[in-house]
Amino acid sequence: MLSGKIYKGIGGFYYVHTPEGDFECKARGIFRNRNEKPLVGDDVEIEEVMDSEKERCGNIVRLMPRRNRMLRPEVANVDQAVMLFSLKDPDPSLPLLDRFLINMDEKGIPVVILFNKLDLMEGDADRMSFVSRVLSIYRQAGYTAIPIHTRSEKYVGDVMKILEGKTSVLSGPSGTGKSSLLNILCPGAGMATGELSRKISRGKNTTRHSELFCLDNDVYILDTPGFTSLAVSDVSADRLMYYYPEFEPYRTKCRYNTCLHIGESLSDCAVKQAVREGRIPEERYRSYRGLYLELRDLKQY
């Protein structure tokens, strides 16, 4: 019996990374009977089987308990989400980033934010001031936010330290440098995804099967397609405030415990007062207000 992790699943076959090497496996019928489906990221036990035509084949005999599960992409046991946004070309959409953070927070998955293309900002005081502002906004909210550029070995080394010992999902909008970063971290990844795209005649940003790339025995990373929008409809409007950690020190000081920090007067709402005084970033409050109104209107339908 061998222990391993499923890193790819295609056409009823599951590919499992173990200390003894990679195995092509099928799931035993007992999982179908239980209406259980193995997922990429699952920790499993397999038994090796002999096959005259193939080497290293096996059967999945046990799924270990999952810590969590994501549906888009469909993957299990994620330790962290690594969110990649560019500082320029394209400019970062902070409301879109906030939606992603809420999605991950709702699933209990920690997030590391990487702001790429720092090299396009260096040497310009105004641009570097913008970088400092963006980093401050998210660090104040309790997130790990790091500026990088993929042409620097130092910054790539910093990313590797973040990934050590974890299964990570790499995500972000198109054009932010995800492919460049992934190809540096795992040179075989670009070749594998490129070959798959040619075989199925799809573009590079088309949704594909989920696949974990193994950077080391205990380091896995999952690339996901770029996105331009992200729904947060699972979160109710009246609970949205709890997904903005920087509100918390002020939320309980509002005059009314039902305060939603939207239509209340400035004198009654401590959160609004904190925004006015610069203790809560205005960018985050605008993000909250816009999303609150969207979720409120959605509820009416």
Return the structure tokens found at 128. Answer: 């570097």
Quick one: pLDDT at residue 195?
45
Q: Where in the chain is CATH 2.40.50.140?
A: 2-64
Query: Does the domain formed by 2-64 have CATH 2.70.150.10?
Result: no
Which pLDDT does position 192 carry in this prediction?
47
**What does the mean pLDDT of the chain come to?**
88
Boundaries of CATH 1.10.40.50 in the chain?
237-300
Q: How confident is the model at residue 207 (pLDDT cuts 50, 70, 90)?
A: very low
The percentage of the chain sitting over the pLDDT mark of 90, rounded to a whole number, equals 66
Spatial separation of the C-alpha atoms in residues 141 and 242, rounded to whole Å:
12
Per-residue confidence band for 292, with pLDDT thresholds at 50, 70 and 90: very high
CATH for the stretch 237-300: 1.10.40.50
Asked whether the predicted pLDDT for residue 199 surpasses 90, the reply is no
Distance of CA 281 to the CA centre of its chain: 23
Q: What is the C-alpha to C-alpha distance for residues 145 and 138, in angstroms, rounded to an integer?
A: 6
Select 71-223's CATH number: 1.20.1730.10, 3.40.50.300, 3.40.50.970, 1.10.10.10.
Answer: 3.40.50.300
DSSP conformational letter for 241 = G
Instruction: Output the pTM of the full model.
Output: 0.86
Tokens standing for 12? 């009823």
pLDDT tens across 152-190, in order? 888 989 999 999 999 999 999 988 998 889 889 988 666
User: pLDDT digits over 230-266, tens only?
Assistant: 677 689 999 999 999 999 999 999 999 999 999 999 9
- C-alpha 183/C-alpha 269 separation (Å) is 48
